Amino acid sequence: MSERIYVFKRFERFWHWSQAGLIMFLMLTAFDIHGTYTIFGFEKAVAYHTIAAWSLIGLWVFAIFWHFTTGEWKQYIPTTEKVVAMANYYLFGIFRNAPHPFRLTQLRKHNPLQRLAYLAILICVGPLIWVTGVLYLFYDQWAAWGLGNLSLEWVANGHIAGAFMMLAFLIAHVYLTTAGHTPMAHIKAMITGWEEVD
């Protein structure tokens, strides 16, 4: 018998999907700016990328506020418990139709690997992109901010490195959403809020 758990609240779902949309648009414009392909062209791509970046920052302000007021931030505290079991599951168990080692609850909606991955994004890739991105935007203010010696090349390359990492994360993330107890289970949960649990 399966039961249904309400894991993703309304704001959380709104946050997730608008963030997903913005990040994908940022990716699209990013590699346009980078010269990988031309959709909007450098000039427009920069303008759109900037608007999307500010929108995402705005969204994050709300999300951070929400996480702290609801205590949901605790969902991202890393744990070593069952990390090995999770890794084993993804590497072997999943192919043998083994049971999922993690049983999610409202208080623990991310499995241990998810926690680690999201935390890594949150404290490594995120800051790398945001810090370099904001510096890039305010290139003309560096001297006024006392950052006159900063190298644009390093800032730019940091931003580009972050973009590649985000793209890799995005691919893995999208794939792993199909690794629920049915391929669509996680995705449905993120749309409706309800996840079916064995």
Partner 1 sequence: MKHALTRAALLLCSAGWLVTAGPVLAEETQPEPKPLKLTTTADHTKFKQLQKAFNSGPEVTKACLECHTEAAGQIHRTKHWKWEYLNPETKQTLGKKTIVNNFCISIASNYASCTACHVGYGWKDANFDFKSEENVDCLACHDTTGNYKKPPGFAGNPVVKDTEFPPGSGKIIKGVDLTKIAQKVGKSSRDTCGACHFNGGGGDGVKHGDMDSSLAAPTKDIDVHMDAEGLDFTCATCHKTSSHDVAGSRYTPTAKDAKGAHVRGKPDNGNPATCVACHGNGPHKKEARLNQHATKIACQTCHIPTYARGGIATKMTWDWSTAGQRDAEGKHITKKDAKGRTVYESRKGDFTLAENVKPEYAWFNGNVQYTLLADKIEKSEQRTQINKMGGSPTDGKSMIWPMKVFRGSQPYDPVNKTLITPHTAGNDDTGFWKNLDWDKAIPVGMKDSGAPYSGKFDFIKTEMSWPITHMVAAKDKALGCAECHSKQSRLAGIQGIYIPVRDNNKLLDTVGWAIVFLTLLGVFGHGALRIVTARRH
CB of 11 to partner 1, least distance (A): 29
Residue 147 lies near partner 1 (rule: CB under 8 A):
no
Residues 87-146 that bind partner 1 (CB under 8 A): 90, 94-97, 139-140
Q: Decide if residue 198 touches partner 1 (CB under 8 A).
A: no
Question: Cβ-count burial of 95 within 10 angstroms (0-12 exposed, 13-18 middle, 19+ buried)?
Answer: exposed
Among 117, 161, 185, 197, binds partner 1 (CB under 8 A): 161
Smaller CB separation from partner 1, 8 or 48: 48
In whole angstroms, give the CA distance from residue 64 to residue 152: 29
Distance in angstroms (rounded) separating the CA atoms of residues 45 and 34: 10
Nearer to partner 1, 5 or 170 (CB): 170
Whichever of 57 and 172 has its CB closer to partner 1, that residue is 172
- Pick 43 or 198: Cβ nearer partner 1: 43
d(CA 159, CA 16) in angstroms, rounded, equals 22
155: which residues sit within 8 A by CB, 6+ positions away?
A: 132, 135, 136
Is residue 153 near partner 1 by the rule CB under 8 A? Answer: yes
Does 3 participate in binding partner 1 (rule CB under 8 A)? no
Among 163, 180, 189, 195, binds partner 1 (CB under 8 A): 163
Closest distance of CB 65 from partner 1, Å: 30
What residues make contact with partner 1 under the rule CB under 8 A? Answer: 33-35, 41-43, 46, 90, 94-97, 139-140, 151-153, 156-157, 160-161, 163-165, 167-168, 171-172, 175, 178
